[in-house]
Amino acid sequence: MLTFFSDSHHAHAPQYEFFRGERVPCFETPARAEYVKARLSERGHVLQTPDADSRVVLAKVHSARYLAFLEHAWRDWVQLEAGNEARQPFPSVWPVRTLRSDVEPLNFTARLGLYSMDNGSPLSAGTWYAAKAGADAAASAAALLTAGERAVFCCSRPPGHHAGPDFMGGYCFLNNAAVAAQALRDGGAARVAVLDVDYHHGNGTQSIFYDRADVLFVSLHGDPMTEYPFYLGHADETGMGEGAGFNLNLPLPAGCTAARWFEALEAACLRIAAFKAHALVVSLGLDTFAGDPISKFALQPDDFIRLGERLGKLGLSTVFVLEGGYAAAELGTNAVNVIEGFEGC
């Protein structure tokens, strides 16, 4: 399967994050994509540099002021105070509920909180550069599908599915799956399905398409009553306005078996088939692996082959976008298993 990969992902390399109250090394590291790249190369998959500019599509899935903030955030942070180039900025205040979010403050920390859903997305000097390269890969993949390619894999990081119309979160800054879906629509696909199989609900993708009937969003994930991102991903969220009925969440309890997970996958695939989608975007989170350090499902490497086989049977032109998965050494094997399971159908 043709794969888009860019060395630009190395530019996003924050040193630490906060996890359960402790300062720890980042789980989302450049090594993740490198493990996948190595395994792809070993198995003979063709790697190509993205060649599309995603700016036009980004403007359709993210707000203009959010994109402007993100592109210049590191510059603004460094200019704020001497020595900031050696520090990582984290938000410390958020405009919750009755507080206003329509006015963009001048204060950098206030703006960082305005555009963040949590403090789990540390910035570094090359964050925009790396995230933009991932969005370019998604747009490039959509262009190839529009031209007749059956499937393309985007081996990119940072991930994207927690990034909403005007906020970052959960290691995500630009929503690559949403970029791919919108680019497919712009390319002539009347109906596009987005399937999110990450352990964590793709709240950003849901938010972007929640009132639209042309993009179906389906997600199977850890129950938000106990699992991040907590505030979205419940079964009663089915869309609004024109999008009513075009959002399907299949939350599962932490620790659920592979058998139960595949039952949910089957329900997801049946809904996609009923939608009569013209193309599919898969938010390929691989943190459902039993050995993942921050997730609680029980899939084994062979289960990812089975996942790919089931998606292949949908018979749809498909963009795969790498999302989560933090057992870095196993990430490459699990990703390739999905791809080769898909190709075998």
Indicate which residues carry an active-site annotation.
162
Which has the closest alpha carbon to 195: 318, 300, 327, 33? 318
Place of tokens 């692996």: 289
Strands, E assignment, 207-259: 215-222, 247-252
Task: Give the H or E element holding residue 145.
Answer: helix 127-146
Which two tokens mark 20?
């359960």
Other beta carbons within 10 Å of 175: 34
Residue ranges with strand state E in the chain:
2-4, 16-19, 22-25, 47-48, 151-154, 192-196, 215-222, 247-252, 279-284, 317-322
Cα(139)–Cα(292) distance, rounded to whole angstroms? 29
DSSP-derived secondary structure for 187-201: TT-S-EEEEE-SSS-
Helices 328-343 and 301-312 cross at an angle (nearest 10°) of 30
Nearest CA to 324 among 19, 36, 4?
36
Three-state SS for 234?
Answer: coil
Q: Report which DSSP code applies to 150.
A: S
